[in-house]
Chains A and B, each alone.
Chain A
Amino acid sequence: MDCVAAQTESACESGLLRTAEGTPLRPGGVALTERAMRGGRWRPGELVMDLGCGGGTSLRLLAAHGLAAIGVDLSHAALQQARQGGAGWLTQADAASLPFRRSSMHGVLAECSLSLMPDKVLTELWCVLARGGRLVVTDLYRRGPSCDVAAFLPRCLAGLMSAGEWQVRLASRHFALQRWEDHSDVLGAFMAQFIFAQCDSGRSWFGDPCDAIEASRLRQAIRVIRPGYMLFVASKEGHDDG
């Protein structure tokens, strides 16, 4: 179970799992990325960070719209792939400690990456954004109640926050929530493609076939928390010091 969960996480996070079209497997695909970009309302020439840029697909999209896009990722393998794909600026860095000056970014795009990161990353992003700069996030969230079977969930699902929790958290970090949209309908297609993309035909989405009890508990936990997918746009409020 842990092996599959780990595989799931690294596959998702690194953006290395690919769809039939060859694009990185990500809920909502390119269509959702474009929608996210429109939410950012960035103007050509503005500096936008792709947090967790993976193989660089979104970077290229940002660049295609005339934005000065800079990709940040912890994974060396992902950055190599992004470089080979022709992405421009890339930095290997920990999101909790970004190598940028305060208020230097006009925008941050974080697709399927923020929910896996510790809380201080949000503070770090606030520092790095200029006043009025927009943070655009697409990610998993929790539509149902949290439950105490989190032990059976893979890491990417165990700590999901609800819409309400997100809103409280953003407000407490001095972000103004401009838009919140539910896009949970993309998860079905995402999960189906994930199953097809697995190279080991014996494995299922829910773990090793012999581990039927774990698999059943995992499905039960998922039915309780009801993972969903969201897009939100938030802007930096408050004065900055630098």
Chain B
Amino acid sequence: MDGQQVRAWEAQCIEEQPPACVTNCPVHVDVRQLAGHVRRGDFSAGLAVLARSIPFPGIIGRICDHPCEGACRRGEAGGAIRINALERACVAWAGQRSPLRPQGQRRKNKKRIAVVGAGLSGLTVAVDLATKDYQVVAFEAQDRPFDRLHAYDPARLPCSVIAADLAAVRGLGIDLRYGCRIGSGGAGTSLAALVEEFDAVYLGVGPAGFPAGAGVVALDPQGRIVVDPTTFATGHPKVFAGGSHRYGGEPYSPITSVQDGRYAALSIDRLCQGASLTANREQQGVFPSRLYTDVRAFAPAPAITPADPLQGYTKDEAIAEATRCFPCHCLECVKACEYLKHYGAYPRRYVREIYNNDSIILGNHKANRMANSCSLCGLCAALCPERLNMGDVCLDARQSMVAKGHMPPSFHDFALRDMEFSNSGRFFLARHQPGAAASAAVFFPGCQLSASSPEGVAHAYAYLQEKVAGGVGLMLGCCGAPARWAGRVEQLDATMRAIVAAWEGLGRPGVIAACPTCQRMLEEKLPDASVTSLWAMLERVGVPASRPLLRAPTFAIHDPCTAREDRVTQDSIRRILAKIGVAAADLDDPGHTTCCGYGGLMSFVNPEVASKVVRRRIEENPADYVTYCAMCRDNFARHGKRAVHVLDLLFGGGGADPAERPDPGFSRRQENRARLRSTLLRTLWREDMPTEEPKLELSLSPAVQAQAEQRLILLDDISAVIAHAERTGEKFIDKASGHCLASFRPVSVTYWVEYARQGAAFVVHRVYSHRMDLSMEPPT
């Protein structure tokens, strides 16, 4: 797998993107996490989250201008979360707050920083840098820090709150000097002197002009310092500025002052370390959130108002408000797909796990199976705001596993052998219409429909011969989808070469495909062919009168996953149903249909997940389902859901109540295909097959049938074992029961059968198999 492609896929999954509250906070407080803590009643943890990003949580908790609330998605469902009120509640109810300490206690930073103005921005600079062990001296013209904040109504911002915030930072050793005005002669120092004495200077001097900066920094015509909005640099390389002086201060934005201080401190730190001032600052400050959240899923709920607005939220009120936070997540695909849900995470993590497993850096064994358990149906891409398709990732991984020889043979062996059967002489066929020497069109019913409804296929072909001019040939075979899904590129190419050769041999006719999967494959691999669905063709030549049904319910339409984007076929089906008088309604948006469990060979690799997938689909609607893929129909039937194929309604097969038709099972599928071929050859082309070996008559109880089905053992395999044993005498006899026990290895699996003769038939008691090969040489 290609690392760059993998990174691109990872970037498409936005689940890890920060939500709107975080990206719209100028300093990116993790509001979602804070709300999560408050919801659980853990105010200390909530305060810790706040304090990670805010040096003065008590003050900000009271007076923040909260741009986050304007972006909160709950605003579209009852009212934005009262985020600032929650923050105030964290400060109030958290109990003891641990004071800040410098982080790198071992090594004393030798750099000295001057901060002019002990306001919010200046003291944020001071705290940030002192935490990193810088020696900070703050020069304040007034006789106390946060002078402007004392102008707030004390009911809103009590002095005690300010004092508590200041007390928490006392341990950082910031040298606060009051009554020091920079630039006035006499007792004050000049800016130039500061620049000389210190390694960097920050100017948080408030909204008025700063004439004292003349000659050192660039001033605009109003005497305000010209400040770079990203780096907070001024005309002088060692001088930085920000806060209300930069953004104007009317209205005063406490959080913007904190932001300016935060990022100016970052610039100063980089300056002192000789690093780039401009690198990696794209997500500094407010930026739009890439996280998608479907707000419609949440019932509107209004904000909690505190019983006493002056006191703020009580604990219970805060918890109730925090409970209104959704919280914002995407997970659109995980909500809809049982496979993605099964592994407990989301695509970005899955992509990484699958890639690690592929490059054997550190892989979990389960990623082998995980990459092979996806149905490749594309539902995730249809729902994902960024259109990430996990099927693309998984198919790439499978192809890589095959190329490196790491694909466990047991995953796909059975399905691939079934495909080989379909392309063997027992099923494969490519003929012109009987009596014709040319084909304007060729009917390609596909291997699964032939296996499930052979009579339906025969009737459909008869109808097409009658109605389509220019000759309709017949091509029986497998389109190669199992090889594609198994990641076996070479095997797929070989299969397609045979199909292309047969198609060209027939004179390159138009292709009429009954199965949407075949249609997709043939459209891709026969680009010069005109490929139509059987349904579109039937509309063109005239839909046959339908057979009367025993019951005429309203069906629910299940669109096969490979028809997800085929509006033409989807509409054809609906018109045909209407035409024949069958009432049917959509299950949901056809573009959001789910797989039945067969896609991607999911049911072979991971029966547990496949079962979840099909059960979820079945339980969506109590009505009988109608669909136009044989595997979908049979999978539903196998799980107890009444389901019909459109072909059943038009051409018969399945008797009077086609919805009761059971899943034929693997053995009968192959038998049906072979019989369809030999029957058509005999009846249409008047060719008799050479007499095959007389079939053994087998008798299996339902329990043994289920055992064979679950262990992927076909009746043909069982017959082969018994025939071999009876012919050669190579079998064991159980003296107690009189049963025979024998084995036979056709290709890569050894089958064991316990059986007993009963008249002309053989009763099969037990079947099992293994893959390793034993030499049966006589001992020396």
Contacts and interface: CB of A to CB of B under 8 A. Distances in A.
Interface stretch (A69-77, A168-176, A219-227): A219-227
Interface in B344-379: 360, 362-366
A216 B362 contact: no
Interface string B667-711: 000000000000000000000000000000000000000000000
A220 B364 CA distance: 6
Among A147, A216, A223, the most chain B Cβ lie within 10 Å of the Cβ of A223
A29 to B, nearest CB: 17
Interface of B: 360, 362-366
A223 B360 contact: yes
Contacts of A223: 360, 363, 365
Contact of B366 (A147, A216, A224): A216
Nearest to A221: B362
A147 B365 contact: no
Size class of the contact patch on chain A: under 10
A220 B368 CA distance: 12
Nearest to A216: B365
6 contacts: A216-B364, A216-B366, A220-B364, A223-B360, A223-B363, A224-B360
Among B360, B362, B363, the most chain A Cβ lie within 10 Å of the Cβ of B362
A219 B369 CA distance: 15
A147 B362 CA distance: 9
Contacts of B365: 216, 219-220, 223
B343 to A, nearest CB: 14
A220 B362 CA distance: 7
Contacts of A216: 364-366
A219 B362 CA distance: 11
Contacts of A224: 360, 362
A170 to B, nearest CB: 29
A23 to B, nearest CB: 16
Contacts of A219: 365
Nearest to A215: B365
A139 B12 CA distance: 47
Given A219-B365, A223-B365, A224-B362, 11 more contacts: A147-B362, A216-B364, A216-B365, A216-B366, A220-B362, A220-B363, A220-B364, A220-B365, A223-B360, A223-B363, A224-B360
A223 B365 CA distance: 9
Nearest to B361: A224
B361 to A, nearest CB: 8
B561 to A, nearest CB: 31
Interface in A130-181: 147
Interface string A204-229: 00000000000010011001100000
A34 B448 CA distance: 56
A223 B360 CA distance: 8
A223 to B, nearest CB: 6
Interface in A58-105: none
A193 to B, nearest CB: 12
B365 to A, nearest CB: 5
A102 B418 CA distance: 69
A61 B362 CA distance: 42
B397 to A, nearest CB: 16
A152 B364 CA distance: 14
Contacts of B364: 216, 220
A147 B363 CA distance: 12
Interface in A183-242: 216, 219-220, 223-224
A216 B368 CA distance: 13
Nearest to A144: B360
A54 B362 CA distance: 36
B366 to A, nearest CB: 7
Nearest to B363: A223
Which 6 pairs show the lowest CB-CB distances between chains A and B?
A219-B365, A220-B364, A224-B362, A216-B365, A223-B363, A223-B360
